[in-house]
Amino acid sequence: MASICADQRFSGGSHGTLISLGCLSEPLASHSVEATIAFLNASAGRMNPKQLATRWVVGPRHFDRFAAAVRRASVVLFHSFSTITRAREFERGTPALERRFEFVQKCADSGLRSVLYIKPFLPGITANDGNAFLDLSKRAHASAIVVGSLFTDERVAAQLSHLIPPMHLGGFRVRDHPVGDTPRSEGESPTPAAAAFIERMRQSGLDVFTHSRDVFSSPE
């Protein structure tokens, strides 16, 4: 944390730099959860907005310490899904959906602020799970939903291009971002399919955003 704060680009305070975990890695995987808990505890004194994006779960051995660190650091959990009915196909390597649902529920029951992170929005796939996402938002007591595009580098985009047209990865008009660049695809104009999905979520009474940062300006 000290090295981050020493960076000249870092701005402290509640309106300062967004501290984001999970953009290019999985912070809650077994090999990283201890380091994540340590980082959250180290960041507790900083008033900056903090997000943790994950497609993973935290098991019983770590959960109490994880939850305490999340509370101490005032972190918002972004539970990331692109699809529910086709998760085995498009979210390979992640824990079973039921385990992920149970984790979302446990976080909600523990009073941890949770957001559904529907990212990337997959054309012709994500919108078909609208009802399932609405059910999950209730289960998570989600304070908001963020619908976004894929934050990627050229290597990952190339791997996905055989499944999804590369210029429409995530349902938004996406530019590729080399590692280290600031992602700007979130918040860009959604395609009609993504816009229709967003409107459906909003009509159900949910706060829906296209940029993570906006979550921290919304009421809990």
What CA–CA distances, in Å, run from 136 to 118, 121, 131, 140, 141? 11, 16, 9, 6, 8
Can you give the pTM of this predicted structure? Answer: 0.85
- At 78-127, the pLDDT tens digits run 999 999 999 998 898 999 999 999 999 999 999 999 999 998 888 888 99
H or E element at residue 149: none
Cα 114 to its chain centre, rounded Å, is: 10
Instruction: Provide the CATH number for the domain formed by 2-215 in this structure.
Output: 3.80.30.30
Q: Tell which residue, 191, 61, 70, has the closest CA to residue 126.
A: 191
pLDDT of residue 100: 96
Q: Which of these ranges, 26-35, 42-51, 166-175, 200-209, has the smallest mean pLDDT?
A: 166-175
Left if phi > 0, otherwise alpha if psi is -120 to 50, otherwise beta: which for 175? Answer: beta
- At 32-86, the pLDDT tens digits run 999 999 999 999 999 999 999 999 999 999 999 999 999 999 999 999 999 999 9
Domain boundaries, the chain: 2-215
pLDDT at 182 over 80: no
Q: 149 vs 93, which has greater pLDDT?
A: 93
Straight-line distance from the first to the last Cα atom of the chain, in angstroms, rounded to the nearest whole number: 26
pLDDT of residue 217: 86
Q: Which of these ranges, 110-119, 129-138, 157-166, has the smallest mean pLDDT?
A: 157-166
| Cα separation, 113 vs 143, whole angstroms | 7
pLDDT at 21 over 50: yes
Task: Determine the 3-state secondary structure of 41 from DSSP.
Answer: helix
Q: What confidence category does residue 1 fall into, taking pLDDT thresholds of 50, 70 and 90? A: confident
| Cα separation, 135 vs 140, whole angstroms | 9
| Cα separation, 188 vs 136, whole angstroms | 25
Q: SS3 helix, strand, coil % of the chain, rounded to 5?
A: 40, 10, 45
pLDDT at 24 over 90: no
